[in-house]
Structure 1
Amino acid sequence: MKTSSRPRRRGLWRTIAVALAGMALATGGATAVAAAELPATESTDQFTFQGIIRDGQTPLEGVEITVTGNGVEETVATDASGAWSVGVADPGTYTVSIDTATLPDGVTLRGPEFESREFTTASTSQIGVLFPFAASGGGGSTGGDTGDTGNTGTGGDTGTGDTGGTGGDAADPGGGSAATGTTDNSFWSTVLARAVSGLGFGLLMALGAIGITLIYGTTGVSNFAHGELLTFGGIVFYATTTLVNWPVWIAVIITLVASAALGYMHDWAIFKPLRKRGVGLVQVLIVTIGLSIALRYFFQFLIGGGILGLSVPRGDILNVGPIVMRTGDVVSMVIAIVVLVAVGLFLTRTRLGKATRAVSDNASLASASGIDVDRVIRIVWVLGALLTGGSGILYTYFIGANIKWDVGFTVLLLLFAGVTLGGLGSAFGALVGAVVVGLVTELSTLWIAADLRYAVALLVLILVLLFRPQGILGRRERVG
């Protein structure tokens, strides 16, 4: 009598969850090390304005930054790595200015409005400031100040949203909220701002998480190279908008087509041959890890190891009650919701969507019913990569219009946490799980250091699996 492979898959997934928890702790430690690279401020300082000034990949030393307001007037110069930092003791509104006379010849700001700007301290203790440079004749310096490096809060520029730091730092842009702040420093306003940021973050993660769960449901493969699909979308969007200056709508179309093509190549060149040879799931898992490493360092070879800024405006400042955010962040959330609704309708109302769910439930029975399983799997790979590439567009825009070679890897843990939390193989479960993870990671920073937010999300995952192993929307019969 043939036994079901579901219990074995469940055991494998639990092993993966434990590995993810360990990786989360390691990631938190790595973030703390990256944060330590910034210039130190006095321990009495409650808030810190900071950033890194670069012309492309070249750090600019000696550029003077001045912070004024609330009786403070302090000027600092960037160090050899381009980093600067100014600490202030009191909350309030401050003006941060760059002395353009100290910039090297040929380096200019993208616009005069970036020379001097106001920032309001809010929920985050460290505020990244972006000074974007105009493109040069050779293709240009687009990054300027990479912004929030070593942010221990949950946003970059929480007053105006310009840097959009995401709870991580510029060296680790993967992680937390958009640049959502408050007009006051009350606790409940801060909670509301964090909840909105967490919701937006969760919706963007849901696009990538659905891709993971569709691939897992139809093939049983836990794709650890999925984060690189997100990075790929961000890199193509950066290249098309910033390097060649195409209109955003054209750049979006090209990015989505390229992401879909990469998903097709994944299945055609690697995973379909492995399926035909009957390679086991553990071996395929190892292949995905190797593929992740190879793609990640290929991306580093292409764009370098620093942060690159996108020449895409993030919109005007928007005040919604006590919340301060950018209109671009609202647009990102709306787009994510529309796409998620479209995916839900595709899975429930179309023939192909129903075939996908049938293959996910029982591939052998689906094949016996006349469904072309290989075709469905190929379409799932294309759809999953398409959604994740779109997530890469929105996510790089969401974190402050920055792209880094390993941005997808930094959120891979949270993508898997969302999939497992919502229920294995359930696209709607992945949506719910990703939103829960986004909210937990943001709200947890009200009480703990932001470096530990990933660990909190993984702790919630472990607790849910202990009391409800099938996940929030998973079916108990899947557990075995």
Structure 2
Amino acid sequence: MTADRQIASAARRILAVVVAVLAGLTASAAMLAAPAAASTTDVATDCTPDGTTACVSPIVLDENNEPLPGVDVTISGQGFEEVVTSTDGPVSVAVPEVGSYTLTLDPATVPDGMQPNAAERQVTAQLGSTARGAFSITAGSAPAETGSTTEPSETADGEGASTDDEAEASGIGADGSTENVSGWPAFSQVWQQFGSGIRFGLLLALASVGLSLIYGTTGISTFSHGEQVTLGALLGFVSINWWGLPVWAAVLVTIIVCAATGWFQDVVLWGPLRRRGTPVMQLMIVTIGLSMALQYAIQMVIGGRSQRVLSSNARPVEIAGVTLSAASWLSMLVALVVIGVIAWFLTRTRIGRATRAVSDNPALAAATGINPDRIVRIVWTVSTGLAGLSGMLLAISFGSFTWTLGMILLLLMFAAVTLGGMGTAFGALAGSIVIGLVVEMSTLIPGMPSSLRYASGLLILILVLLFRPQGLLGRAVRVG
């Protein structure tokens, strides 16, 4: 019987790994399609830089260096994404974070018979200035590229200091980048991205820990967990912008409602299916259908464009040489506290120890008097509440969110859980930190488009499956 249980356990792990790879491929396809869902509606185009505001401005010029209206440019980076349309005048957008942003021109909006000189521009947003990226669109062959520039902050009489002189003195390139002469980023930028990676990893961990707990107690790799994250961002947006609640109250509402959805799902869906003995594979197919239903329900509420949870511009705060918004620092503190509470819950409380017992061996746990169904219901409730909190904190920290947030993060959550060890809550935490660092710091590689940074999670997922399938903290299982 022991050998049979080992074989069954190994089969479940192998099945979960295969499903994780399929999830990564599905999320990658959704990520590549996500920019098309953005919209140019309600984009502020009159950003004024000051000591607390950084602006990004795409410039589209024709062959006579005159503004060319009607061309769409996507501004993305630091978790922010907006699509703006060029006009006869200047167009600028306030971005939530200082740092590197990618301007991507949509070739479908270029007039017939004309060709842009480049498809992408990299700019660096700084407080008190407007980072500009210029595109030149001409008939026939493209001319030499026009570099991106960073406008200095204006003085009272409208005059500013020389951009080139300031760049040379500060070590920042004239195009707004912080690279050294070898083309690799300076230490200050590496340290900044390291801090951003820790932030992203902590917020990702809130969702990944729940996903790992669900797998450990039920054997299900749930595809709908990403939409629980998006639901949290949506509830935060609705609570603050529609209901007028303060942020702390919106956080409580988000956690309670998202946790209630997890409880409700187990009562009406997962519990009855478990009692009927439904195979794990069929349960995972149900999660795919639930994921699609939640995706389009959320899109019906907020539409295809991005939404800002906090309408005010981010207030930057520098700690230990890392500049992030005040909301980001507060979100990281909340994440650390919640992760500490979860660790205490799993190791020091009776229900937490019962959860670990059910995760290790449900039959043995039931023989000792533990009710596995009750534990699984608690896990669903807690996990969806954590996912909702993660979604709201991500939306606050990165400034905005779209209905595709969950699809993009699902790949990274599966990668984090696989890297840490399937079914291991502490492994999910470690894996999330690694994934967050890799995603944010991969943008420092020269020539690496920021739009591909999430694909690094898929690379890690593949490498882990090839060389250490049990993950960092998982246990190897002998088969046969």
Equivalent of 1:12 in 12, 15, 27: 15
Q: Deviations over 1:60-83 (max 9, x none)?
A: 9xx6779999xx9979989568x5
Residue 444 (structure 2) aligns with: 446
Q: Which amino acid aligns with 2:248?
A: W
The separation in 2 between residues aligned to 1:283 and 1:84, in whole angstroms, is 42
Whether the 8 Å CA contact 1:470–1:479 is kept in 2: the answer is no
Residue 351 (structure 1) aligns with: 350
Query: Identity over aligned residues, as a percent?
Result: 41
Residue 223 (structure 1) aligns with: 222
Residue 237 (structure 2) aligns with: 238
The separation in 1 between residues aligned to 2:97 and 2:309, in whole angstroms, is 24
CA-CA distance at 1:469 after TM superposition: 1.6
Residue 298 (structure 2) aligns with: 299
The separation in 1 between residues aligned to 2:357 and 2:97, in whole angstroms, is 52
Q: Deviations over 1:424-446 (max 9, x none)?
A: 11100000001111111111121
Kindly name which structure, 1 or 2, has the bigger radius of gyration based on alpha carbons. Answer: 2
The separation in 2 between residues aligned to 1:269 and 1:161, in whole angstroms, is 53
Whether the 8 Å CA contact 2:96–2:398 is kept in 1: the answer is no
Q: How does 1:98-177 map to 2 (within 5 A)?
A: 122-126=99-103, 158-160=125-127
**1:342–1:26 Cα change, 3 Å:** same
Q: Deviations over 1:225-273 (max 9, x none)?
A: 0011111111111111001211112111111110110010111111011
Q: Which amino acid aligns with 1:249?
A: W
Structure 2 residue matching 1:403: 3-state secondary structure = coil
Q: How does 1:201-212 map to 2 (within 5 A)?
A: 201-212=200-211
**1:467–1:123 Cα change, 3 Å:** same
The separation in 1 between residues aligned to 2:345 and 2:128, in whole angstroms, is 35
Q: Which amino acid aligns with 1:476?
A: A
Q: Structure 2: which 5+ residue stretches go unaligned?
A: 62-66, 76-88, 105-118, 131-169, 173-177, 180-185
Whether the 8 Å CA contact 1:53–1:78 is kept in 2: the answer is no
Structure scoring higher RCO (CA < 8 A, sep ≥ 6) equals: 2
Question: Normalised by the size of structure 1, how large is the TM-score?
Answer: 0.72
Q: Deviations over 1:84-106 (max 9, x none)?
A: 689xxxxxxxxxxxxxxx99xxx
Q: How does 1:70-469 map to 2 (within 5 A)?
A: 83=72, 122-126=99-103, 158-160=125-127, 184=172, 185-186=178-179, 187-311=186-310, 313=312, 315-320=314-319, 322-400=321-399, 402-447=400-445, 448-469=448-469
The separation in 1 between residues aligned to 2:419 and 2:60, in whole angstroms, is 48
CA-CA distance at 1:450 after TM superposition: 2.2
CA-CA distance at 1:455 after TM superposition: 2.5
CA-CA distance at 1:472 after TM superposition: 0.3
The separation in 2 between residues aligned to 1:389 and 1:207, in whole angstroms, is 9
**1:119–1:261 Cα change, 3 Å:** closer
CA-CA distance at 1:118 after TM superposition: 10
Question: Normalised by the size of structure 2, how large is the TM-score?
Answer: 0.72
Q: Which amino acid aligns with 2:205?
A: A
**1:249–1:266 Cα change, 3 Å:** same
The separation in 2 between residues aligned to 1:363 and 1:319, in whole angstroms, is 48
Residue 106 (structure 1) aligns with: none
Structure 2 residue matching 1:477: 3-state secondary structure = coil
**1:183–1:453 Cα change, 3 Å:** same
Count of aligned positions? 389
Q: Which amino acid aligns with 2:270?
A: F
Whether the 8 Å CA contact 1:232–1:259 is kept in 2: the answer is yes
Whether the 8 Å CA contact 1:423–1:473 is kept in 2: the answer is yes
The separation in 2 between residues aligned to 1:301 and 1:237, in whole angstroms, is 16
Q: Which amino acid aligns with 2:406?
A: G
CA-CA distance at 1:451 after TM superposition: 2.6
**1:440–1:84 Cα change, 3 Å:** closer
The separation in 2 between residues aligned to 1:405 and 1:116, in whole angstroms, is 21
Q: Which amino acid aligns with 2:14?
A: G
**1:352–1:151 Cα change, 3 Å:** farther
CA-CA distance at 1:347 after TM superposition: 0.2
Q: Structure 1: which 5+ residue stretches go unaligned?
A: 38-51, 87-101, 104-114, 128-149, 164-181
CA-CA distance at 1:301 after TM superposition: 1.4
Whether the 8 Å CA contact 2:58–2:103 is kept in 1: the answer is no
CA-CA distance at 1:466 after TM superposition: 2.1
Report the more deviating stretch, 431-440 or 14-23: 14-23
The separation in 2 between residues aligned to 1:227 and 1:286, in whole angstroms, is 15
Q: Deviations over 1:385-406 (max 9, x none)?
A: 1111110110111221x23222
**1:461–1:244 Cα change, 3 Å:** same
CA-CA distance at 1:206 after TM superposition: 0.4
Structure 2 residue matching 1:54: 3-state secondary structure = coil
Whether the 8 Å CA contact 1:233–1:393 is kept in 2: the answer is yes
Whether the 8 Å CA contact 1:228–1:409 is kept in 2: the answer is yes
CA-CA distance at 1:20 after TM superposition: 3.2
The separation in 1 between residues aligned to 2:97 and 2:397, in whole angstroms, is 20
